[in-house]
Amino acid sequence: MKANTVTSSDPSVRLLQRQTLRCADPNVCSSLPETTTKYGPFDQLVAPFIPVAVVFVYDQPNSSEPIIPVQRLQHALELLLNHYPQLTGRLNILPDGSYEMTRIGTGAELVIAECIEHLDSFADDEGRISLMDLPGASNALFGPYDASSDGICRDPLFTIQHTRFACGSVALGIRVRHNNCDGNGFFQLVRDLAELYRGLKGNSIPTLARPPHFQSYMSDLVMTQEERQEALAFKPSLLVVDPLPEAVAIPTKPPPVVGRILRFSGTALEELKVQATEPDSSNSWVSIFEAIAALLYQSVFRARLHYFANDPSSMSPPDYLSPIDFRGKRFPELPTAYFPNALLCVYTSLSHDMLSNAPLWQIAKHLHDLMRNEVPDADHVKNTLRWVVAQPDKTRIRSGFRPGNGSIMVSQWAKFDMYTGTEFDGEKPRLVSTPFTPISLADGLAYTLPTEMQGKMGGDEQAIDVNVALSEPIWEILEHDEQLRHFSSSWSNIGVRSG
């Protein structure tokens, strides 16, 4: 284990060591048919500098035995890499813009750190811990990350930081490059790690009850010239090739972006769902996610319209985007326990008049139909992916969504059971959340997340947190939005600010 002095983003956290992680069985990597593995077309649609990063915080129980000792965690991680050996590799970007994993066996990374404070010193008067209150708004609980073009090809695909607080409690900051997996695959990875860790308490070497499927769909597809031309003739509904449909003006010096957390109680969500459902229609329904997304879409648009009232042309089109997971019945060709990405992003753009004046249920109904009907069937998905594989220059592939200071992107993480299966030493995490980082502080980006009350007796298990990043002056206008304030029971008092 090598010592490596690294500066933390918070003075209360000290990084002690950085340890290279390799497969517990050294024959695993050497037995792979190739030391280079191609990414599939789902993965190709994700920018390589974007990570999936989540912090898991665990209380030290009333026991003399420390929770999640580093040595046992390291052993579990090495066993995990027997099942995920490609995560020991490095990213390589080919001249046509396609990605591959190379140098498999180079290693993942475990960072060992300590915090000089007790975990409860970051809690509020009710004992609740928010990621906003943790060191560096929880960013100090993750290993160093370099999103530059050099860093994304040089550094590990998978890192985990083990931070022990002065009271013995532990935070695990886990990060995987997004072009390796989506949120579903990420939490599968963490549950697999926890399962192997728990198995180490026995006398035998543990194995996974349900090993992951690691190979990306269509990553091994080889086309003839005729097949390639046929694939390129397909017109996907969600993707385009440069140039974008409409140029988006970007301010030369935009205001800073602030990340805040909105909490919606279970009761408020039921009321919101009623308001977002078409009245007097027995066949109409919307999900909680669609109701929240519609509320954010309308409220944020109205605030932006007010802010840009003197210069409406400075606001980009009010586009909306959401990713859809195609595991399961929507695309049955994906195998069970599929780890890589399985997402396509649907998008739409409603008129200024509708977003300004329509009742909430009309916007929610539009989003409901978008989520279910924009991709016609499994054949359309398959042909879209073949179209991606066939592209001669994959750097030119774009979503038809137009990002900018008028758009909004809402991702559904509340569906993930983050607090179940991620127990290491018997106790559920006290908090699971994704931080605001320099990358995720994108104006108009929002995530729905389960709260720390998920699975707790007597708690509001149906409550949802929404992490939202918006331009600072838009937040100032939303402070007076009666509709948004009515449904969200609390707003974080501290915001994470870019710049």
Q: What secondary structure does DSSP assign to 79-129, as a single string? A: HHHHH-GGGGSEEEE-TTS-EEEESTTS-EEEEEEEESS-GGGGB-TTS-B
**Checking DSSP bridges between strand 490-491 and strand 257-264, what pairing results, if any?**
antiparallel
Exposed, middle or buried by CB within 10 Å (0-12, 13-18, 19+), for 391?
buried
Q: Provide DSSP, 418-439.
A: TTSS--SSSSPPSEEE----TT
Give the alpha-carbon dihedral of 179, 185, 188, 192, to 10 degrees.
Answer: -40
Could you tell me the residue ranges of all domains in the chain?
Answer: 2-199, 243-497
pLDDT given at position 2? 35
Cross-sheet strand order for the sheet of 51-58: 2-6, 13-21, 108-115, 158-164, 170-177, 51-58, 431-433
Q: Indicate the residue type of 408.
A: I
100, 173, 341 from 148: Cα distances, Å: 18, 21, 22
pLDDT given at position 10? 85
pLDDT given at position 457? 54
Q: What is the rounded CA–CA span in Å between residue 365 and residue 356?
A: 16
Q: Splitting the chain (499 residues) into consecutive groups of 10 residues, what average pLDDT does each group show?
A: 46 95 87 77 95 96 89 97 95 94 94 97 87 92 94 97 97 97 97 97 89 95 96 95 62 84 94 93 87 98 96 94 94 94 97 96 96 90 97 94 96 92 93 92 95 70 93 95 88 67
For 339-348, letters b (16+ CB in 10 Å) and e give: bbbbbbbbbb
pLDDT given at position 252? 67
With CA atoms as reference, report the closest residue to 315 among 443, 479, 475, 498. 443
- Is the pTM value of this prediction over 0.75? yes
> What stretch of H or E contains 464?
strand 464-471
Question: How many CB atoms sit inside 10 A of residue 333's CB?
Answer: 12
Question: How many CB atoms sit inside 10 A of residue 160's CB?
Answer: 26
Q: Indicate the residue type of 488.
A: S
Fold of the domain built from segment(s) 243-497 = Chloramphenicol Acetyltransferase (3.30.559)
pLDDT given at position 497? 72
Asked whether the domain spanning 243-497 has the same topology as the one spanning 2-199, the reply is: yes
DSSP code of residue 400: S
CATH architecture of 2-199: 2-Layer Sandwich (3.30)
pLDDT given at position 221? 95
pLDDT given at position 36? 79
